[in-house]
Structure 1
C-alpha cells in the first residue's frame, strides 16, 4: 500500500484526551464570571470554536452579551490552571514512523495556541508545525485550518487528495472533506457510522490502530 503524502492531526480527542482540562476551565471561568454553575457540555459542540462554545454557555442564562468575556476568561483559566491532558494511544509511534519515513505531518486544531504549546511541551511531543484558533480567519468546520497547515508543510492543492486528516469530530471531518483531503475518523466522541456519514473514508478507535494498519499492509 502506498502511504499518504502527509498526515494532518486534530488535537483534542485525537492526540490527547483533554476533556478534563477544557471542562474545568469552562466551569471555573463561568463560576467566576456569573457566580453560578455551568450547564453540561453538549456533545454536538465537540470540535467547535471556543467562541461558539462560549456563546452557547452564555445563552443558557441569557447572557449572550458576555460571550467574549467568558471566552477570554476561559482561555486565561486554561493557561493559569493548566491541567496536562492525557496522551492517547499511538501518537509517539506514528510520529516516529512518519519522521523515519520523512513524511510531513502537523496539527491544526480549534484549540488556542497557548493550550497547544503547553500540552506539547509537557507531553514532550514531536510536533513542530502547529496551527491553533488564532491562526484562522474562519475556524473549523471551514477548511481554512487544514488548507493552511497543508501549505505550511509545502503541499500544493493537487496533493490534498493524498493527505490523511485524523479527526474525531463532525466539525473537523467536514473541514477536512471541504479541503479536498481524506478524513480519517477516530471514534473518541462519535461512532464510525456518524463519522462516515459526514465523510470519513476510514475509521479507527485510536491513532494506534491507524498506525498498525499503515505498518502491516
Structure 2
C-alpha cells in the first residue's frame, strides 16, 4: 500500500477477541453430543467458517433440518459459547489503543463478520466498543458468507469508501480470501492459524500476533 487507508474493516471472532477455541468447543458439543456427527475436534475446527447455517449444511446437507431448527441450533451453540467465554471476554492486546487512535485520525471502522447479531452485540456491548463502529455487517446482512466478498464489499459501501482504500483485519484463511475477492489488503492476526496457512493469498500486508506490533503504526 502507498496511500493511507480511509477505513478499517474488522472480522470479530479471533480478530478483535481471541475466542475461537471457545467456539470450537461449543460446536464440538452441538455437533457430536446433540447431533451425533462423530467428528474429531480437528474436523470441527476445519468447518468453522461462514454462517452457522452454512456449517450445518456442509456437514449434514441442505435438507436435514428445518430452517427453524437450524436457527434453534445456532442460538444454542452461541449460548454455550457465551456461557464459557464471558469471564474471559477482552480485546486482543493493543486493540483498545488502536481503535482510539484510528477514531482520533478519522479512519472509518466497521465490523464484517459471519457471526449472528446475538454474538456481535455480546462483544460490542460487553466491551463498550460499539461507538467506534460506523457499520456492522453480520451473517444476517449477506446472502453468502466468506469467502464470498459480500461482507466486506457491503461494509465499504456503507462507509462510503472504495475497496482499495480499506484494510481488512482477519484471522482465518476464508476471511482473507473474502478480502482478496473484494480487492482489499489484509492484516492477519495469528490467533488460530500460522503464516503457512495463508500461502495462497497475495493481499496480505502483515502478520501480527496482536495490535501492539509496530508495523501497524504504518497504517496511520
- TM-score normalised by the chain length of structure 2: 0.80
- Residue by residue over 1:122-155, the C-alpha shift from the partner in whole angstroms, topping out at 9 and shown as x without a partner, is 1222443221101101111111000110111111
5 Å matches for 1:110-121? Answer: 110-121=114-125
Shift of 1:26: 2.4
Residue 45 of structure 1 pairs with residue 44 of structure 2? no
Counterpart secondary structure, 1:25? helix
Q: Return closer, same or farther for 1:39/1:216 CA change in 2, 3 Å cut-off.
A: closer
Residue matched to 2:11:
10
Contact residue 9 and residue 165 of structure 1 kept, 8 A: yes
How far apart are the structure 2 equivalents of 1:31 and 1:6? 40
Shift of 1:50: 1.7
Contact residue 112 and residue 152 of structure 2 kept, 8 A: yes
Counterpart secondary structure, 2:64? helix
How far apart are the structure 2 equivalents of 1:36 and 1:45? 12
Q: Return closer, same or farther for 1:9/1:32 CA change in 2, 3 Å cut-off.
A: same
How far apart are the structure 1 equivalents of 2:5 and 2:199? 19
- Residue by residue over 1:84-116, the C-alpha shift from the partner in whole angstroms, topping out at 9 and shown as x without a partner, is 244212221111011000010111011111101
- Residue by residue over 1:30-81, the C-alpha shift from the partner in whole angstroms, topping out at 9 and shown as x without a partner, is 467447876424343343332232234547xxx9613853553232341476
Contact residue 173 and residue 199 of structure 1 kept, 8 A: no
5 Å matches for 1:4-153? Answer: 4-30=5-31, 33-34=34-35, 39-42=40-43, 43-58=45-60, 65-66=64-65, 68=67, 69-70=69-70, 72-79=72-79, 82=82, 83-84=85-86, 85-126=89-130, 127-128=132-133, 129-153=135-159
User: Between Structure 1 and Structure 2, how many residues are aligned?
Assistant: 210
How far apart are the structure 2 equivalents of 1:67 and 1:203? 42
Q: Return closer, same or farther for 1:118/1:175 CA change in 2, 3 Å cut-off.
A: same
Gaps of 5+ in 2: none
